Chains A and B, each alone.
Chain A
């Protein structure tokens, strides 16, 4: 459940008494209802599910956590390739 995709708010306006916005999802722009995000501004990121923004993405928190997660990367050596598999079998 819950296909929610992050996008950037590029425009805000009212329609039928609801806060609406244009959201840019990696180059594709679609309208979304932002009524549940009273504080969201143009330039912020939101997660959109069925045409509704359900959260304002906390960018700072995202960067911090990702930094920490990247530090757990302790890869040594090559990653197995599908091509190599043929040699093994």
Chain B
């Protein structure tokens, strides 16, 4: 596939890895923000191939992991109603709520459907005039324009039996919060390439100036990620702290303005709780007044008060902030496994806990010549 295969090239990747190895002089902790990047890193085994001085911390850029428990419970309550067809992206189906997940609602006969595009949910609404179609509007800024368009279209086409349960989160406030936290020590960030495709990267300039931490906008394929790491390490080694773009084929400084316009038309920023982390100010979207009719929480007010019960054992919030490793959680591998997850970080394929679960049973001596140190590093962190 063009513009994918070239960025999975082994030789190019190795060349970049070697270059990092050549310039690195001390340990650096880099956080890749986006869950999609985490997924790519784990799938390609890239984290084991990096020079041992570079540690990648998997950040909270996973809407699956950070959607508040309360919202999952609300989604489940809506999906269980006979007058509702609940429509969602596939990712959310196995995320555990207080009692169960959307998948089990589906299995019990609830009308839960998966779509690829939010516009498909409008089609379902037109075909089922006797039901209310509720769409689970999760995602970062990348997905916000699509979700916004679905609502704008519903309004334009006069589709009344449609509502959206909004769970949008935005990235820069989260990075700000991480940088503010005295416990979190991240030397540099790999910013989320597709979020920046929509929003641009100008928002990171004041952050970089204030905290003196480099931010490199990074793509998703192995070559892109190593390229981002290289640029970040280079800045760190040279004592610079700037915003740089390692995904220029898709990202411009100003981002995609028409996409930003539709977000602003339908949504406005609001405070938002992140599961396991807490409320991050102005880190979410809510409907503007003109679209409040489409808010599922307004349409179904009885879901506004739902008692939630987060597992007392789960510490995914600490994991998401890079403060604890999954194997430091007492429930890891015992009460909490991918088959029976207590928290979202064990469910999501890019969740840090699920990733550790796989690697804890295996250590790869097949990596580069640095592998011995890499191996022992992995072993001690897993022990």
Residues of B within 8 A of A57 (CB): 3, 249-250
- A16-B157, A52-B149 known; A65-B248 Cβ under 8 A: yes
Q: Knowing A16-B157, A33-B117, A52-B145 touch, does A69 contact B35 (C-beta < 8 A)?
A: no
B residues near A58, Cβ cutoff 8 Å: 248-250
Which of A2, A47, A59, A79 gathers most chain B CB within 10 Å?
A: A2
Cβ of B139 < 8 Å from any Cβ of A?
A: yes
Interface string of B364-378 (1 = CB under 8 A from A): 011110000000000
A72 CB to closest chain B CB, in angstroms? 5
Contacts from A to B (Cβ < 8 Å): 1-6, 8, 16-18, 25-26, 32-33, 35-38, 45, 47, 49-52, 54-55, 57-59, 61-62, 65-66, 69-70, 72-75, 79-80, 82, 85, 88-89
Residue from A32, A65, A73, A80 in contact with B366 in the complex, judged by beta carbons closer than 8 Å: A80
B249: chain A residues within 8 A (beta carbon): 57-59, 61-62, 65
- With both beta carbons as reference points, the residue of chain B lying nearest to A19 in the complex is identified as B258
Given contacts A26-B4, A47-B250, A51-B119, 4 further A-B contacts (CB under 8 A): A1-B195, A55-B256, A69-B16, A74-B19
Q: Separation in Å of the B122 CB from the closest CB of chain A?
A: 9
Contact-residue bracket for chain B: 35 or more
Q: Is the CB of A50 within 8 A of B116?
A: yes
- Is B15 a contact of A73 with CB atoms below 8 Å? yes
Contact of A69 with B223 in the complex, beta carbons under 8 Å: yes
* Number of A-B residue pairs having CB atoms within 8 Å of each other in the complex: 152
Q: Which residues of chain A are near B190, meaning CB under 8 Å?
A: none
The answer to whether B63 touches A1 (Cβ under 8 A) is yes
**Residues 61-72 of chain B, each 1 if its beta carbon lies under 8 Å from chain A, else 0:** 111000000000
Known: A2-B34, A61-B248, A65-B249. A54 touches B89 (CB 8 A): no
Complex CA gap A6/B256 in Å reads 16
Instruction: Assess A47 versus B194: contact at CB under 8 Å? Given A33-B119, A52-B117, A70-B12.
Output: yes
Interface residues of B in 1-28 (CB under 8 A from A): 1-4, 6-7, 10-12, 14-16, 18-19
Q: Of A25, A72, A74, which one neighbours B1 at CB under 8 angstroms?
A: A25
Interface residues of B in 258-302 (CB under 8 A from A): 258-259, 262
Instruction: Find chain B residues with CB under 8 A from A49 CB.
Output: 142-143, 146, 194
Distance of A41 Cα from B149 Cα, bound (Å): 21
Contact B34 A73 (CB under 8 A): no
The smallest C-beta distance from A87 to any residue of chain B, in angstroms, reads 12
Separation of A2 and B89 alpha carbons in the complex (Å): 12
- In the complex, what distance in Å separates the CA atom of A80 from the CA atom of B120? 46
B118 at the binding interface (Cβ < 8 Å) = yes
Closest to B6 in A: A66
Cβ of B123 to closest chain A Cβ, rounded Å: 11
